[in-house]
Chain A
């Protein structure tokens, strides 16, 4: 009897330690990746690296300014397209909980969230690149905007659902028209949740490569024309990392450090702000 109890307690203790061990093992790869990229990347980053375009293979020097500017432009264009649409759709879904269209709309957002990014790339290729006849930064932005939408819509919908109905009633009782109640009362109340949704979605698409392969395509020169192919950081990392040249690997490490740092920073800022404003995501 006593032995049996001891055995059970020991088994429970053992299991607990095993779970703690396995759970904390996951921090190893993350720390390893961050440290490794930091070590390899930090020596490559200097003023030339940030302000010059890449040199041909074999020549030292050169930088990644084309990828930096390209990434910023592509992401901003995507955000400008996706944010209004996403917020409006989020409002629609939180305002219409039971209609048939909203059921299908909600289902579509669920489906959209699961679409593999490479498939988005293919589809945008046929929607934009092929009719126009050239790869373009703009088509890349459209692909990224499609990927942003589900995150934006979900976060807007979930945030607005939590806002007390009495606020809306109060607004309507004062004679405010419906759109003003939504835009001036409900939306400002949920602004912090919506903002964190926006930041999360930007962090998510900033590192996306697959949808850009057949849309923005990449460009070794500095370009600010949205109608032409454009380089972006993730694309550049992919192309340089899979090349056989050590020079290019070095540049890819530098670019990877910048990308990783930006994405993690966006995530951490989002986390801190949501904690501050006590938003449920």
Chain B
């Protein structure tokens, strides 16, 4: 056996060398394909939104009316709806994600209780968004409606507030797990020094951990904002889908993602379709910029 292999060595090694360079080349091609893929996505969005950019111009972005029947397109209701839902969701989620991050990162990093909490948080991130939407529609909406009745607001049930509640649950895991990693990175000599000076746990948290992890926690919040902006299904199902400018946080509205999901297959003429794609382009650019800033901050933080 061995003899035969040695005899064939010359031929084999030629083949091997060829296979080797083929392998190396295909690796490079696939690496480059990722760059092409992303540029392809950007280019497709730009090209397809040209009709709307040409005929509507910049006023598209702050036009207040969205009326496809009369060919009037203004994206302001959706931009406002997106900003409102995302920021409201962020505000609701921050105390919880911060508490989870502190608990898992500092107060109780080991043991079954923190393991249980950690796994729960990961499972929350795993639940499909359509299931959040469905549950929100049939469980949360009636709850919000009865609350609105008590408060004396128009009881829609659906609307920006309900969407923000669902979104808040969905984005907590992202900020929480990043925050945990950041809090773990705080050097223990710093904390020990503070404790030895007689600081209480809360004072260590406030005066040592928070200042040290500030930028990292901010990045976690940015990344969860990126997720909130692009989230589609759960929001679409509970936000009410009207194209009017929302008057208060309990009013129904629409986000950029949800209006695309609702109207894309119904768009029957070129400018309508293209206006929707321009929304997609704006959404793409905003989420990409937010994600990139967040990742940059984290990279700088972890390298320090």
Contact = CB atoms under 8 A, between A and B. Distances in A.
A264 B34 contact: no
Contacts of A27: 117, 120
Nearest to A238: B130
Given A33-B131, A208-B128, A122 B291 contact: no
> What does DSSP make chain B's interface, helix, strand, loop or mixed?
helix
Nearest to A25: B96
Contact of B34 (A20, A23, A109, A252): A109
Interface stretch (A46-54, A55-63, A94-102, A163-171): A94-102
Contact of B126 (A104, A122, A203): A203
A89 B30 contact: yes
B302 to A, nearest CB: 13
A237 interface: yes
A110 B127 CA distance: 22
Nearest to A8: B200
B84 interface: no
A26 B121 contact: yes
B169 A24 contact: no
B284 A116 contact: yes
A127 to B, nearest CB: 7
Interface stretch (A10-18, A73-81, A187-195, A220-228): A10-18
A273 interface: no
B129 A207 contact: yes
Chain A CB count within 10 A is highest, among B44, B119, B131, B295, for: B131
A230 interface: no
A219 to B, nearest CB: 14
Given A92-B27, A126-B48, A242-B237, A19 B103 contact: yes
B151 interface: no
Interface residues of A, number: 84
Contacts of B45: 119, 122-123
B20 interface: yes
A110 B292 contact: yes
Interface in B1-56: 16-17, 19-20, 22-24, 26-28, 30-35, 37-38, 40-41, 44-45, 48
Contacts of A267: 122-123, 126
A125 B288 CA distance: 21
Contacts of A114: 226, 230, 287-288, 290-292
Contacts of B182: none
A133 interface: no
A116 B230 contact: yes
Contacts of A16: 107, 201-202
A69 interface: no
Nearest to A21: B99
B123 to A, nearest CB: 6
Contacts of B40: 123, 127
Interface string B166-207: 000100100010000000000000000000000011110100
A249 B232 contact: no
Interface stretch (B68-76, B212-220, B243-251, B256-264): B256-264
B127 A260 contact: yes
Contact of A29 (B38, B138, B169): B169
Contacts of B19: 177, 179
Contacts of A104: 35
A111 B292 contact: yes
Given A22-B96, A24-B117, A119-B41, A209 B203 contact: no
A88 B48 contact: no
Interface in A114-147: 114-120, 122-123, 125-127, 146
Contacts of B117: 23-24, 26-27
Contacts of B290: 114
A217 B119 CA distance: 34
Contacts of A23: 96, 99-100, 102-104, 117
A152 B200 CA distance: 44
Interface string A234-271: 10011001100000010011001001100110010001
A252 B131 CA distance: 10
A26 B172 contact: yes
Nearest to B41: A123
A11 to B, nearest CB: 6
B265 interface: yes
A112 B34 contact: yes
Contacts of A160: none
Interface in B255-304: 257, 260-261, 264-265, 277, 280, 283-284, 287-288, 290-292, 295
A26 B120 contact: yes
A185 interface: no
B95 interface: yes
A96 B230 contact: no
A105 B24 contact: no
Contacts of A149: 34, 37
A85 B130 CA distance: 28
25 contacts: A16-B107, A22-B98, A22-B100, A24-B117, A36-B135, A96-B27, A101-B35, A114-B291, A118-B261, A119-B280, A120-B41, A126-B44, A179-B20, A203-B126, A207-B128, A207-B131, A208-B128, A209-B128, A209-B130, A237-B130, A238-B233, A241-B133, A256-B134, A263-B126, A267-B123
